[in-house]
Amino acid sequence: MTTLKKKEQTFLIDLLDFQDSLNGNSEFVDNVRMKGADEVRNTPFPHSKDEEWRFISLRDLYSDSYQHVSVLEEKDPDLRDYFLPECANSRLVFINGVFSIKHSSVEALPDDIVIDSLARLAASDNPLVKEHLNKYTTFEGDVFSSFSDAFLQDGAFIYVPKGRKIDTPIHLLFVQTEADITYFTTSHSVIVADEGSEITVVEDHIGLGDNKYFNLPVVEVSAGKEAYVKHTKIQRDSQEAIHIARTSAFVEKHANYESYTITIGAKLSRNEPRISQRDEEVKFTVDGLVLIDGEQVSDTHSVMDHRFPHCESHQLHKCVIIDKAHSVFNGKIFVRPHAQKIDSFQENRNLLLSRKGLVNTKPQLEIFADDVVCTHGATIGQLDEEEVFYLKSRGLNEKQAKELLIYAFALETIENITVDSVQKLLVDEVHNFTERQLHSEFTI
């Protein structure tokens, strides 16, 4: 235990020393950083003795010391393969945590929406940054959030004004390049949809190499009164990366927040979507799909916090586990006192296809109001033999039958994503994955 502690501290101190040398070009940002750094100094880093982290080991995170991504030379990779056709002119690109004007374009978007790099807006003292940054988060006391604050640098900032409905989806592309050193990178994005507005955002994390790095993205979303926010997150970081994300959304009266999180990459990933109902009569969705193999570990800890009466919430979290991969799910549904008439659904389904795979799941209900309908379910198992047999009896061979069934299993969570190219991309990813599954030596 002592060695681990020492490692945590190395990890922390090295970076905090470096933090002092950063310059935010903005007093506001500097203040956020200083406060964040203070909090980090006073908050212990988690380990698997903590209930919230008990199923995974953070050894991979603590075993290395990291350098800040800014020590890397500027890179200009070819990113065309990763662009979405619908978002040719509605895209912000960040390479190694820094905004890339060259690859970004927002021409397709109306003039009255504010969409830019957070760093640029902060440098020009745009009041929106001060007004919205860190206002929609429920990660008080969380050391990783403080850590992200301590290194606050850049990210996407989107503000959609009242009543503005945007059909064009917006692509936020976060690219990590290959490097000789182990680096860490943060990004902090803010999406504010004002009253009655609509927006679709695709948050996309890509690792170009197979190197180790630590990616810590923070995303805050505010779905204002009667707003409709669709948020898809695709995590395809490098297979050696560590991805620890903080995502929080505030959902105001009559608003609807839909999020779909797809986890494909990273050796160790931790998603923590936290949805906070801020007023009556709202809807939200927190679906997820996890496809992991090799020695990947994917951990999702979600919070659906029902704080007011009348809410419809939905969470379908599906995982396919092959090789030595390990999937963790802890979904918390809270219904606070007097938050009556809540209709909350949660299901975690796991396809454990390998001898060496492992699944932990802990769906959790904490209910303090009586007039509510809350259900949760969790399953862990194989493909249904009856279904395999049925398909074989229709002439498919075993491989085809299994592939089709895994595909069908995965598809349910992505078919609601409205951006066609994203759906197509994910369908391809599912195919690649099932292909890998069938060749895995541990597959039963």
Nearer to other proteins, 337 or 395 (CB): 337
302 vs 66: CA distance, rounded Å: 27
Q: What is the largest CA-CA distance in the chain?
A: 69
Contact characters 358-397, other proteins, x per CB under 8 A: xxxxxxxxxxxxxxxxxxxxxxxxx---------------
Nearest to 218 by CA among 285, 132, 297: 132
Which residue, 79 or 367, has its beta carbon nearer to other proteins?
Answer: 367
Number of amino acids touching other proteins (CB under 8 A):
36
Q: Decide whether 140 or 385 has the Cβ nearer to other proteins.
A: 385
Residue closer to other proteins, measured from CB, 25 or 382? 382
Rounded CA separation 364/289 (Å): 19
- The contact pattern for other proteins, residues 321-360, with x = CB under 8 A and - = no contact, is ----------------xx-x---------x-xxxx-xxxx
How is 375-429 classified by DSSP, letter by letter?
Answer: EEEEEEE---HHHHHHHHHTT--HHHHHHHHHHHHHHHHHTT---HHHHHHHHHH
Please compute, for residue 301, the number of CA atoms within 13 A of its CA located in the half-sphere on the CB side.
Answer: 13
Q: Least distance to other proteins from the beta carbon of 442, Å?
A: 9
Nearer to other proteins, 59 or 355 (CB): 355
Nearest approach in angstroms of CB 289 to other proteins is: 19
Taking the complex as a whole, the smallest distance from the CB of residue 324 to other proteins amounts, in Å, to 11
Integer Cα distance of 144 and 246 in angstroms: 8
Nearest alpha carbon to residue 89 among 112, 113, 107: 107
Nearest Cα neighbor of 235 from 255, 215, 206, 258 is 206
Of 235 and 350, the one with the shorter C-beta distance to other proteins is 350
Alpha carbon distance 256, 140 (integer Å): 24
Cβ neighbours for 215, distance < 8 A, ≥ 6 positions apart: 174, 176, 184, 185, 186, 205, 237, 241, 242, 243, 244, 245, 266
Pairing of strands 326-335, 358-367: parallel
Least distance in angstroms from the C-beta of 50 to other proteins: 11
Nearer of residues 211 and 354 to other proteins, judged by Cβ:
354
Q: Is 398 in the site for other proteins (CB under 8 A)?
A: no
Pick between residue 70 and residue 340 the one whose CB is nearest to other proteins: 340
d(CA 335, CA 369): 7
Query: DSSP H helical segments within 302-354, as ranges?
Result: none
| Shortest distance (Å) from residue 56 CB to other proteins | 12
> Minimum Å distance from CB 130 to other proteins?
39
Tell me how far, at minimum, the Cβ of 365 lies from other proteins, in Å.
Answer: 4
Asked whether 444 and 354 are in contact (CB, 8 A), the reply is: yes
Closest CB to other proteins among 15 and 311? Answer: 311
**Shortest CB 433 distance to other proteins, Å:** 16
Query: What is the smallest separation between the CB atom of 398 and other proteins, expressed in angstroms?
Result: 16
Hey, which residues between 51 and 70 contact other proteins (CB under 8 A)?
A: 51
Q: Residue numbers of the site for other proteins (CB under 8 A)? A: 51, 337-338, 340, 350, 352-355, 357-382, 444
